[in-house]
Amino acid sequence: MEQNTETRFSDYPLSEAVLKAIERKGFIHPTPVQEMILPRLLAEDTNIAVKARTGTGKTAAFGLPLVNKLTSPAERPQALILAPTRELALQISNEIRSLTTNRYPRITAVYGGASIGLQLRNLEKGTEVVVGTPGRVQDHIDRGSLDLSEIKYLILDEADEMLDMGFIDDVKKIIDCANPDKKVALFSATLPAPIMKIVDEQLGKTEIIAEDVPEEEEILVNQEAILLKADDRLEALKRIVDSTENFHGLVFCPTKIEADEVARRLMEDGYPAEALHGNLSQEARERTLRRFKNKLTTILIATDVAARGIDVERLTHVINWELPHNFDSYIHRIGRTGRAGEKGTAISFIRPTIRYRIKEYNRKSEHILGSSIHVVKVPEVMSILQVRCQRLEQTLEAKDQEYRAPGGNQKEKDIIAAFADKLIAGMGAGNTVRALLSSAYGDIFDTERYRDIEQFEEPKRKRDKEKPWDRKRKGKDSEQDDWQPEGKGRGSRKADGYKPEIKPGTVRLHIGWGKDDNIGPRELVKFLAQLMKIKGNLIDDVAIKGNFSFATVPEKAGLAAVDASRKNPDLPTITLAHRERKPERKSRKRK
0.75 surpassed by pTM: no
% of the chain residues with pLDDT over 70: 84
Q: What is the mean pLDDT of residues 411-432?
A: 89
Residue among 252, 278, 323 at smallest CA distance from 85: 278
Q: How far apart are CA 420 and CA 483, in angstroms?
A: 78
pLDDT recorded at residue 358: 85
Cis link prior to 504 (omega < 30° from 0)? no
Q: Which of 192-201, 243-252, 505-514 has the highest mean pLDDT?
A: 243-252
What the chain holds in terms of domains, given with CATH numbers, is 9-210 (3.40.50.300), 215-378 (3.40.50.300), 382-449 (no CATH), 468-576 (3.30.70.330)
pLDDT recorded at residue 584: 38
Instruction: Look at residue 322 and tell me whether its pLDDT is greater than 60.
Output: yes
206 or 305: which carries more pLDDT confidence? 206
Q: How far apart are CA 65 and CA 42, in angstroms?
A: 6
Least confident span in 122-131, 177-186, 237-246, 324-333 = 324-333
Instruction: Look at residue 279 and tell me whether its pLDDT is greater than 70.
Output: yes
pLDDT recorded at residue 527: 87
Contacts of 351 (CB under 8 A, 6+ apart): 227, 228, 229, 230, 569, 570
Q: How far apart are CA 155 and CA 148, in angstroms?
A: 13
- The string of pLDDT tens digits covering residues 505-563 is 899 998 988 876 667 787 888 889 889 989 888 898 888 887 788 999 999 999 999 88
Q: Is 62 exposed, middle or buried (0-12, 13-18, 19+ CB in 10 A)?
A: buried
Consecutive H or E run containing 201? helix 193-202
Instruction: Look at residue 311 and tell me whether its pLDDT is greater than 90.
Output: no
pLDDT confidence bin for 130, thresholds 50/70/90: very high
- The string of pLDDT tens digits covering residues 427-461 is 998 898 888 888 887 777 777 788 899 888 765 54
Q: What is the mean pLDDT of residues 215-238?
A: 83
577 neighbors 550 (Cβ within 8 angstroms): yes
Q: Is 1 exposed, middle or buried (0-12, 13-18, 19+ CB in 10 A)?
A: middle
Instruction: Look at residue 477 and tell me whether its pLDDT is greater than 60.
Output: no
pLDDT recorded at residue 53: 67
Least confident span in 39-43, 46-50, 339-343, 577-581 = 577-581
